[in-house]
Chains A and B, each alone.
Chain A
């Protein structure tokens, strides 16, 4: 960035935003922006006496993360026009580090989706191939980075919503350990799973962004009180002595052999850098989707009860009392997928079904967490898998809800277990990006970034071919 001012960077970002917005193939990745305000912020950054770590970094923020100067709608009609009275800690930290918020990005409504087709403001298109989805739910953030609008973007993760779109758009996406990053100002979806994540074009950009947002926040009691190591130090770390586990459950015979081949090429590259690779087993992997799609909707049905037309957001009234106002507001305000998940969550928590569904899911979740614990206890330092079974699919290709849920099959385990995980590009199939996933122990983001730097260095341009 030498010589480039924040004003230069922000000006270029807005030019790029305009270029990809136009026409029938417009990406639709940006929901809200204010060019003059962003430029004013950029001028203030340029006027600072000391150079801040993120000076000149234009960032995009997912629309479920609170900002003071732009709306926060979660891509939902129920929050149309809502502007938060406070700012998310992650956004404040980015600003303090010298970055300029460019825009709020489109996403699946309340972060519920794997294709970004569930937004009240229309789907986002994948910059690599505009007939295809960018993934979801942080599809707008991934597209904004891939299209060159933002250097770094914030997304949120509940079951893979940063890693899956990162994989589909050919960028780097990081989900930190549960508790590593403050969620103050992140609109809650499923509180035992939600984390803020970072997307960047390179491992270094993602590491830099994560260094800035990670760490204890007094406004979020679920943020862990642990020091944040310098994740960028991972660039200099060797892979010698590092053991990488290749879980057999993530490479079933039904997996596209081209995806398997790209992942094995990545493992070969890590081996060539000194790492040891061995097969491992995470035996409860197949149960992750059923567990996730009980726990996440259950928690969502409770979290989304606050959208009732009383204190903020949409209100739809008639002349038939309070309860009808609640029902009319919520039915008009929530889209079909959110409605489906609230109903599903209410059902699995309701009398007579709690033990069979919710309690059982929590127990199997503990088994999934234990799978990871055993793998790491056996001497594995990093687990490597494909991020998704397929590359980006075409818009409108999937109408069956459960088939869509299967997109999260390799990512939601990380959320259920709370471990850090990230996706980085490892190659292409039919010209479409494929992501490889790196998973490490709780709070070992350093080890994860070190492996990601090594892999990125080893693959070079091959990662994008």
Chain B
């Protein structure tokens, strides 16, 4: 399951990371080296194993969707790069550029 430069470009897109061309090859090599060490897992017989994210303890209880409220000591607009009227402002979607040009 070798990772190619194209794979790195694909997963970088999924992860919203811009990877420069000169780093692409190095990262593909590193991911291949790391994943090479993971191959050993394929030899383990796990046909009868049941999994949960964390088992053997009580740390995954169900609770109502609404948790308790907690105090916010700072306003959102003190932290956000850009806000207006209680909304976060972001750059326009590239696909909307044509519409805005027309208006």
Contacts and interface: CB of A to CB of B under 8 A. Distances in A.
B16 A289 contact: no
Interface in B42-80: 42, 44, 46, 49-61, 63, 67-68, 70-76, 79-80
B57 A343 contact: no
A281 to B, nearest CB: 16
Contacts of B55: 366, 369, 418
Interface stretch (A50-58, A102-110, A258-266, A290-298): A290-298
Interface string B19-58: 1000000010011011101101110101001111111111
Nearest to B68: A218
B70 to A, nearest CB: 6
Contacts of B57: 177-179, 224, 418, 442-443
A340 B30 contact: yes
Interface string A332-375: 00100001101110110010010011011111111101000100
Contacts, number: 196
Contacts of B67: 218-219, 221
Contacts of A68: 73
- Chain B: interface secondary structure? loop
A86 B72 CA distance: 5
B68 A323 contact: no
A87 B72 CA distance: 9
8 interchain residue pairs of minimum CB distance: A179-B59, A321-B94, A363-B46, A85-B74, A315-B81, A327-B18, A312-B79, A326-B16
A287 interface: yes
Q: How large is the interface on A (under 10, 10 to 19, 20 to 34, 35 or more residues)?
A: 35 or more
Interface residues of B, number: 60
- Max chain A Cβ within 10 angstroms of own Cβ: one of B57, B70, B76, B90: B57
Given A290-B37, A342-B15, A356-B1, A310 B58 contact: no
- Max chain B Cβ within 10 angstroms of own Cβ: one of A177, A331, A419: A331
Contacts of B72: 85-86
- Max chain B Cβ within 10 angstroms of own Cβ: one of A177, A340, A347, A364: A347
A350 B11 contact: yes
